[in-house]
């Protein structure tokens, strides 16, 4: 990876200098207030992290290195990784080098397959993905470099190597999880004549040879790759890697967060919801029927999966990108039709319900229905697809943070009584 290392070398010095200058010249300046509500409310909206790779605004959604995600729907995962980690669009030579570097690691080590096979039959595919990554920790060049005493400022170089290997290996781990967990037969080897990452992933899954399926896998890997630094999976890997744990530890931990129903598991919950609608009405229901179904869901104390977001206040552009895909590929499927009809009804229902700050759909409202339409019918696997993609952003964020020299994360916790006292004292001193 000579081109990538050389490119990042120049950036590392600039990033470190920039960070040092900000701390030195503006270290005492405030960038926001931490209210009691924020301390007790999951730190929502507290500006407390740096993420260079992407940003998410309430009114527009995801930008990768300041490019709106809707302008990137035609690119490959390799191009997205290059953009995330360097901030630039890759040239043909850069892409060639990256693809060759990835291709060395598409085939998953046998000990990972054995680890997955050794897991209980009822393991969730996300626990298998996390375990598979953790099993590969022994391969970490970052850990070896640290053990050999490489200077802290230079550790990012081995982090790049680990990231390349991890991003290239995770599709094979995920595909092995799919085939083992759902009794699909042998684990499939990567293609010998094609070094494209998403083509290989689509092939190793063994779901379909359809060109549209391959395009869906490509798009899926691009759309979920990064979503700034404050979401559960990104923040988890940020915290773990801040202790100088290597990327296998950090990404494996992030996958455990992604496995939660309020985060990455939402896509499987979402499809379950859609199938529930279909079953109840014996097909694609009318808008009135969906309205009633949604109200019943809310009145029984449940959320509408796939709707709402901690940051977004508009339709997630990634939802729009999947919609565009469905139209472009002329996907004819009941679940996809239900997704489209729910979109016409549920935002108004949620507005009338009055609780959710964002009544609009997020990416998870669409993605599962498309996977299902192309023959991947095992809901439990959908978050694994998400995880394969998200690993690209997690590793990019990790490398950039290490280049910048980010320190260990260590916020201060308070007891409820200390919080009460701190708030009272602040009030008295005001
Ligand atoms: N249906 C019903 N109620 C909802 C809702 C929805 N889709 N979204 C939010 N609300 C409710 C919340 O449960 C909360 O109620 P309480 O005050 O009783 O706790 C209230 O509205 C305010 O919540 P919020 O501030 O609008 O939303 P949060 O930032 O707390 O949570 C969530 C954001 C995404 C977790 C939330 O909207 C939700 O649970 N949505 C459904 C699950 C989902 O789609 N998750 C995927 C999110 C995308 C993602 O991260 N993917 O990985």
134-152 mean pLDDT: 97
CA atoms within 13 A on the CB side of 301: 0
Residue 69 carries which DSSP code? Answer: G
Cβ(316) – ligand 1 distance below 6 Å: no
Rounded CA-CA distance 92/87 in Å is: 16
Mark whether 29 is an active-site residue.
no
Mean pLDDT of 109-124: 97
> Which listed residue (162, 246, 316, 364) is catalytic?
364
Domains 3-21+40-262+386-404 and 266-379 share a fold: no
| 362 Cβ below 6 A of ligand 1 | yes
Tokens found for residue 191 = 């293609």
pLDDT at 424 over 80: no
Inform me whether the pLDDT recorded for 425 exceeds 70: no
pLDDT class of 310 with cuts at 50, 70, 90: confident
428 has pLDDT over 70:
no
* Helix, strand, coil content of the chain in percent (nearest 5): 65, 5, 35
The residues, any chain, with a CB within 8 Å of residue 92's CB and separated by 6 or more, are: none
Q: Which two tokens stand for residue 283?
A: 């097909």
Indicate if ligand 1 lies below 6 Å from the C-beta of 262: yes
Instruction: Give the list of residues 6+ apart from residue 151 with CB closer than 8 angstroms, or none.
Output: none
Model confidence at 242: pLDDT above 80: yes
243, 249 contact by CB (below 8 A): no
Q: What is the pLDDT of residue 268?
A: 85
Is residue 426 over pLDDT 80? no
Average pLDDT, the chain: 95
Distance 263 CA to ligand 1 centre (A): 10
Average pLDDT over every residue of 129-149: 98
Q: In percent, how much of the chain has pLDDT > 90?
A: 93
Span from the CA of 307 to the centroid of ligand 1 (angstroms): 7
Q: Which atom of ligand 1 is nearest to the CA of 264?
A: 52
Catalytic residue among 96, 263, 329, 333: 263
Tokens of 36: 């009691």
Q: Average pLDDT in the 75-89 region?
A: 98
**pLDDT at position 1 over 70:** no
| DSSP notation for 321-373 | HHHHHHHHTT---HHHHHHHHHHHHHHHHHHHH---S--SB-THHHHHHHHHH
Q: Give the span between the Cα atoms of 260 and 389, in whole angstroms.
A: 16
Provide mean pLDDT across the span 233-259: 98
Question: Ligand 1 pocket test: which of 41, 308, 360 has the largest number of ligand atoms within 8 Å of its C-beta?
Answer: 308
Pair 228, 108: CB distance under 8 Å: no
Mean pLDDT for 14-32 is 96
What radius of gyration, in Å, describes the C-alpha atoms of the chain? 22
Average pLDDT of the segment spanning 267-284: 92
Average pLDDT of span 115-130: 98
Which is catalytic among the residues 203, 224, 227, 309? 309
402 has pLDDT over 80: yes
Dist. CA 259 → ligand 1 center (Å): 16
Q: Is 263 a catalytic residue?
A: yes
Cβ burial, residue 296 (10 Å; 0-12/13-18/19+): exposed
Residue 356 near ligand 1, beta carbon < 6 Å: yes
Q: Which fold has domain 266-379?
A: Cytochrome p450-Terp; domain 2 (1.10.230)
- Is 364 tagged catalytic? yes
Spatial separation of the C-alpha atoms in residues 241 and 35, rounded to whole Å:
28
DSSP secondary structure code for residue 70 in this structure: G
How far does the centroid of ligand 1 lie from the alpha carbon of residue 405, in Å? 34
- Residue 119 Cβ contacting ligand 1 at under 6 Å: no
Q: For the segment 206-228, what is each residue's pLDDT rounded down to a tens digit? A: 999 999 999 999 999 999 999 99
What's the burial of 233, exposed, middle or buried (CB within 10 Å: 0-12/13-18/19+)?
buried
* Band of pLDDT at residue 427, cut at 50, 70 and 90: low
Atom of ligand 1 nearest to the CA of 357: 26
Write down the domain spans for the chain: 3-21+40-262+386-404, 266-379
3-21+40-262+386-404 architecture in CATH?
Orthogonal Bundle (1.10)
236 CA to middle of ligand 1, Å? 20
Q: 266 C-alpha to center of ligand 1: Å?
A: 10
Please tell me the pTM assigned to this model: 0.94
Structure confidence at residue 417 as a pLDDT band (50, 70, 90) = very high
Ramachandran quadrant class, 306 (left: phi over 0; alpha: psi -120 to 50; beta: rest): left
């Amino acid at each position: 990876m000579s081109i990538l290392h050389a490119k990042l070398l120049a950036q590392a010095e600039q990033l470190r200098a920039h960070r040092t200058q900000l701390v030195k010249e503006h270290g005492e300046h405030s960038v926001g207030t931490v209210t009691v509500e924020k301390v007790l409310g999951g730190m929502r909206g507290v500006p407390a992290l740096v993420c260079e790779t992407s940003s998410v605004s309430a009114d527009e959604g995801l930008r990768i290195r300041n490019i709106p995600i809707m302008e990137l729907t035609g690119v490959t995962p390799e191009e997205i990784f290059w953009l995330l980690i360097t901030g630039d669009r890759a040239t043909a030579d850069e892409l060639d080098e990256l693809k060759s570097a990835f291709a060395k690691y598409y085939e998953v080590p046998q000990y990972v397959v054995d680890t997955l096979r050794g897991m209980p039959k009822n393991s969730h595919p996300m626990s298998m993905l996390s375990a598979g990554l953790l099993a590969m920790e022994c391969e970490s060049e970052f850990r070896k470099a640290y053990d050999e005493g490489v200077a802290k400022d230079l550790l990012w170089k081995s982090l790049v190597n680990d990231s390349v290997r991890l991003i290239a290996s995770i599709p094979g781990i995920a595909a092995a999880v799919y085939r083992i967990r759902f009794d699909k037969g042998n684990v499939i080897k990567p293609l010998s004549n094609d070094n494209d990452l998403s083509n290989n992933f689509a092939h190793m899954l063994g779901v379909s040879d359809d060109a549209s399926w391959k395009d869906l896998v490509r798009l899926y890997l691009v759309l979920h790759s990064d979503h700034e630094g404050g979401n559960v999976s990104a923040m988890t890997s940020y915290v773990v890697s801040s202790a100088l744990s290597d990327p296998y530890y950090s990404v494996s931990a992030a996958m455990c967060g992604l496995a939660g129903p309020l985060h990455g598991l939402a896509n499987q919950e979402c499809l379950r919801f859609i199938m529930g609608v279909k079953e109840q009405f014996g097909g694609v229901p009318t808008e009135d029927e969906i309205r009633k179904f949604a109200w019943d869901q809310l009145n029984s104390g449940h959320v509408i999966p796939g709707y709402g977001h901690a940051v977004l206040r508009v339709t997630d552009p990634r939802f729009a990108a999947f919609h565009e895909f469905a139209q472009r590929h002329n996907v004819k499927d009941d679940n996809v039709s239900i997704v489209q009809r729910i979109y016409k009804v549920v935002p108004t229902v949620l507005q009338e319900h009055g609780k959710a700050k964002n009544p609009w759909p997020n990416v998870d409202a669409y993605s599962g229905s498309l996977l299902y339409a192309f023959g991947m019918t095992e809901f439990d696997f959908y978050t694994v697809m998400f995880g394969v993609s998200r690993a690209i952003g997690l590793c990019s964020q990790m490398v950039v943070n290490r280049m910048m020299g980010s320190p260990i994360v260590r916020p201060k916790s308070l007891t409820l009584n200390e919080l009460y006292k701190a708030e009272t004292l602040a009030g008295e001193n005001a």
